[in-house]
Structure 1
Amino acid sequence: MTKIFETPLYPYERSADQDAAEPVRHPVVVIGAGPIGLAAAIDLARHDVPVVILDENDKVSWGSRAICFAKRPLEILDRLGCGQEMVDKGVQWNLGKVFFGDRKVYDFNLLPEEGHHRPAFINLQQYYFEEYLVNRARALEAEGKPIDLRGGSKVTAVEAKDDGVLLTVETPDGPYRIAADWVIACDGAGSPVRSMMGLDFVGRVFEDNFLIADVVMEAGFPTERWFWFDPPFNKGQSALLHKQPDNVWRIDLQLGWDIDKEKEKKPENVIPRLKAMLGEDAKFELEWVSIYTFQCRRMEKFRHGRVIFAGDAAHQVSPFGARGANSGLQDTDNLIWKLKLVMEGKAPETLLDSYDAERVHAADENILNSSRSTDFITPKSDQSRIFRDAVLDLAEHFEFARPIVNSGRLSVPATYDGSPLNGPDVAGMPDRTRPGAPAVDAPIGNGWLLSRLGDRFQLMTIDADAPDRIDVEGIEVERLELSTNDDPSGALAERYLGDAQAGIYLMRPDQHVAARWTKFNEAELRSAVNTATGALSNRVETPD
């Protein structure tokens, strides 16, 4: 049976651009048809912004790669139109167990509080994720949306100019050139675009390697995340086990630093390691094997004129904590609405600098957590190892020690504290929904709050009066009228009102809170919209 990652999904086809006398200019070109590039292009096309996607390949990635998808990215994918397929196919999990040696130290539950549409996490192979995104792009194309996915198209030169970018594209029919008003580089950790522009990462490369194996087997393990420190089958190192769909199990085994990577990937060396873990009689088939090196690095800036970097091209973290694809999706979620407003002339180009400010902040938060996880998992001194082992011993018997154990603090969405786009706040309202924070879901009638938020500026009112529609210099703000009576569970009031009797929230198109009040004031709303779009205030300064 042909597997999905062996099937071309977007094979090379000759484009009319290749026969043009001069480079054809496109509003946006996305480089890279991995998950982040596809998500960016889908979001643009949904908003009728013409986009071309270039990728040298013609099929989805081989191997599980990114497998853990968190609640917030699933909510973003709901807006893009493919969240349900992810959840339907993925393996949902809440429970994790931590082992030290041959004994269980403790377990933990990630199940969020009641009243959320999406689960805390699902496990799903990256090739399925990419397939759903390709299918969504094709569906948009069939609907007449302006999206053009070009496989077999390798970008070999990037000439960045003040008013656009000129690209050279190599194809089976030879090279051609196209121009773009804007380029979004989503071409992965080894980003050729980054190299061609003479840009680099700053950060740490950790002296350690992990073997990843996708193993097809019938197994009685529960649907949980299991992490071992110093297991008997991999002494002095660590290991991780995750269940995926189709009886595929993801196994990560720490190998150390001074290894021959090509030798370690050979089946004759991988299989004995897996049998030591699973048992000599275990029956399994290797689907995919790789080795990764821990890296926690990022570009100093994500925006370079008309070229904007997202996903692994902009930042890398070690895989513990599921911060790679999850943070990349939040990059595009942050970027696309801003780029659209700039292209429409409704916001200044400087609004894109807030992409830098907000997503660099998020990347630094991820790098900090990922570095701490890596340092705990792979101690590089005797003192560090003694401390780690003592914490694990204590955690078996005392709950206070468990938060100190760090087997990969799991991904949470970034709150943009200190963002230049944040507007006013009021005391007494819940901290979790402060300006800069992503919206928190809640049951509303027979549906969900987040299904009614996003893609535009909205004024969400809870037991408060406000106009149904306000135009702020061409940006239309729609009202979403809610009442605490819409949610008998009390979740809406608990998450958005706190001690207040009423609440008014200005929501950004990416479902983040821009500002909030307890009563409506039109002048303050207009000022907050101008702030959230990077526009200059309309207030006239009066002389002293």
Structure 2
Amino acid sequence: MQIDYQTMRFDYERAADHDAGAPLTYPVVVIGAGPVGLSAAIDLAQQGVRTVLLDNDDTLSSGSRAICFAKRTLEIFDRLGCGKQMVDKGVSWNVGKVFLQDELIFTFNLLPETGHARPAFINLQQYYVEGYLADQAKRTANLQMRWKSNVIGVTQQDDHVALQVETPDGIYSMRAQYVVAADGARSAVRKALGLDSHGRTFKDRFLIADVKMKAPFPTERWFWFDPPFHRNQSVLLHRQPDNVWRIDFQLGWDADPVAEKQPEKVIPRVKALLGDDAEFELEWVSVYTFSCLRMDSFRHGRVLFAGDSAHGVSPFGARGANSGVQDADNLAWKLRLVVNGDAPPALLDTYASEREYAADENILNSSRATDFITPKSAVSRMFRDATLKLAKECPFARRIVNSGRLSVPAVLRDSPLNTPDADAFNGAMVPGAASTDAPVKLAGEDAWFLNQTGHGGFTGVHFCGQGDDLTKCADELRALANLAVPVHSLIVVPRGAPVTALPDMPHVTVIEDIEGIVTHRFDARPGTFYLLRPDQHVCARWRALDTASVTKAVDRATCNG
């Protein structure tokens, strides 16, 4: 039976804090139960950190809101345990088409190669994403979810953050070693600390119409510049589950946002696209403007900002929710190490610097997309239209067309947590890159490479040759497993290689590279060793396994060096 996540309400329960004689202290409190807050809370709790999640409401988001979830975000959801539900429910797509007026200019494929567990994107209404995450949160030990719990006071002390929480039973006080503020663009935590975001507001308005209908359009992203049914503006079309289609109409800055949401204004616009005889229902309508902005710093003492509370972008490129979930992915393992005393608080500064870099990259791409879609001068319009006309025949012009460059994970090349290469490598798996996926076999069964990594710890990936004796590296891998911050190792063997029984090595997993894709994507040869962070980013690599070098790299990646 399908759950109606749009109408369900979560039960409020009286917190024990109401009846405590003194404020109770928790390792981490996460504020905001959207996709970012839920992801952060689940990740922390699955890593053994006792976490409280507070939300001022008792429902999920209303309307579709964010709908495009990228491959990297889906891989994070896989690690959290709910990616499959989302992919099964969502509409998977890799292909987009760009039109000028009524003419197809070009088609692009965001994932042209095979050997990936997840598509480039799925389209899935935000309330489903939040619902599946909330279901996972309920199943997760170490996690308390508190609904109808509104944070009305935030005070930082040297060794904790003091919170005042308003509930139907009154106000109580609580303490947290650290707070993750994932409470959205109008962040109450940011306001309570007297902080602000800075950036640029775009003077344009857009209409979102989520339309329920049965339509013959393929499962692709279609974007029109200056279509005959909406002249001198742009239109975006996406398919969602449940026969719902997202149509995004550019309106212009002079449009009346109240009037444009009325059915008598929306329905003619939809009919102009679909035809007068089209049968459809309006499921959700919104008119919006947007800004590209961010806080100066995502860390303020013991408060870490994530998602829209830290940064905001235009909706073109699906960078909002995706970058927010990737914030949570970056933060959770660092918070766990700091809370447990396995890393100094300085590690949290790298959360801020890495994700500020990612936010700047998103803001740059988002601003460029918006400027291309909505040119602000006659010269800009002339350049855009000339580029679009050239794009039909000239591949170089297609690279300039920007209908919303789609979200990709930031490559953290300059992170202080990376160990610079001492050996020569080719390919994309540079230190700072999010690890790629590939098909493998595990104990003779089909599996995926990424599913064997992460899960709260560092992963070593050791590539062996066809006739290599796997026991030769046993002592080195055992030593890595016994580090203060342990490393679980994968041994990658070629297809059909005999797997030698490993002596009492639960910290090592042997996987078979059945198509050679792992070896190819990592530019590996026998002896190559990669070190992956808990968030599956590469942080070091060598052509030969050396325990001392790996130990130094782990220390560097945890600010223990």
The answer to whether TM tops 0.5 is: yes
Partner of 1:232: 228
Aligned CA-pair RMSD: 1.5
On the 8 A contact 1:106/1:396 being kept in 2, the answer is yes
On the 8 A contact 1:442/1:491 being kept in 2, the answer is yes
* 1:270-328 Cα shifts (integer Å, max 9, x gaps): 11221122212211111111122131111110010000000111111101111111111
Partner of 1:220: 216
Per-residue deviation, 1:3? 3.9
Partner of 1:460: 461
Matched, 1:265 2:275: no
Distance 2:321 2:399 in 1: 25
> Helix, strand or coil for the counterpart of 1:250?
strand
> Helix, strand or coil for the counterpart of 1:409?
coil
Match of 1:478 among 488, 502, 507: 488
> Helix, strand or coil for the counterpart of 1:345?
coil
Distance 1:206 1:126 in 2: 24
Per-residue deviation, 1:472? 6.5
Distance 1:83 1:429 in 2: 32
Q: Which runs of 5+ in 2 are unaligned?
A: 466-471, 496-511
* 1:57-77 Cα shifts (integer Å, max 9, x gaps): 111111111111111111111
Partner of 1:494: 520
Aligned length: 530
> Helix, strand or coil for the counterpart of 1:371?
helix
Distance 2:514 2:146 in 1: 49
Matched, 1:509 2:534: yes
User: Match of 1:373, as an amino acid?
Assistant: A
TM-score (norm 1): 0.95
Matched, 1:207 2:203: yes
Distance 1:225 1:363, change over 3 A: same
Distance 1:431 1:384 in 2: 36
Distance 2:366 2:406 in 1: 9
User: Match of 1:399, as an amino acid?
Assistant: P
User: Match of 2:377, as an amino acid?
Assistant: S
Between 1:422-431 and 1:240-249, the stretch displaced more is: 422-431
Matched, 1:533 2:554: no
On the 8 A contact 1:209/1:257 being kept in 2, the answer is yes
Partner of 2:506: none
Distance 2:334 2:543 in 1: 27
TM-score (norm 2): 0.92
Distance 2:350 2:137 in 1: 27
Partner of 1:128: 128
* 1:111-164 Cα shifts (integer Å, max 9, x gaps): 341111111111100010011001001112xxxx11111111111111122211
Partner of 2:89: 89
On the 8 A contact 1:496/1:503 being kept in 2, the answer is no
Matched, 1:524 2:534: no
Distance 2:547 2:16 in 1: 50
> Helix, strand or coil for the counterpart of 1:438?
coil
Per-residue deviation, 1:501? 4.6
Matches within 5 A, 1:128-527: 128-140=128-140, 145-445=141-441, 446-454=446-454, 455-463=456-464, 466=473, 467-469=476-478, 470=480, 474-485=484-495, 486-497=512-523, 500-527=525-552
Distance 2:517 2:324 in 1: 29
* 1:489-538 Cα shifts (integer Å, max 9, x gaps): 2212211125x5531011111111110000122221111111000013xx
User: Match of 2:110, as an amino acid?
Assistant: L
Per-residue deviation, 1:473? 5.2
On the 8 A contact 1:68/1:124 being kept in 2, the answer is yes
Distance 1:111 1:341 in 2: 35
Q: Which runs of 5+ in 1 are unaligned?
A: 537-544
On the 8 A contact 2:423/2:543 being kept in 1, the answer is no
Identity of aligned residues (%): 58
User: Match of 2:535, as an amino acid?
Assistant: D
Distance 1:526 1:24, change over 3 A: same
User: Match of 1:364, as an amino acid?
Assistant: D
On the 8 A contact 1:430/1:494 being kept in 2, the answer is no
Per-residue deviation, 1:172? 1.6
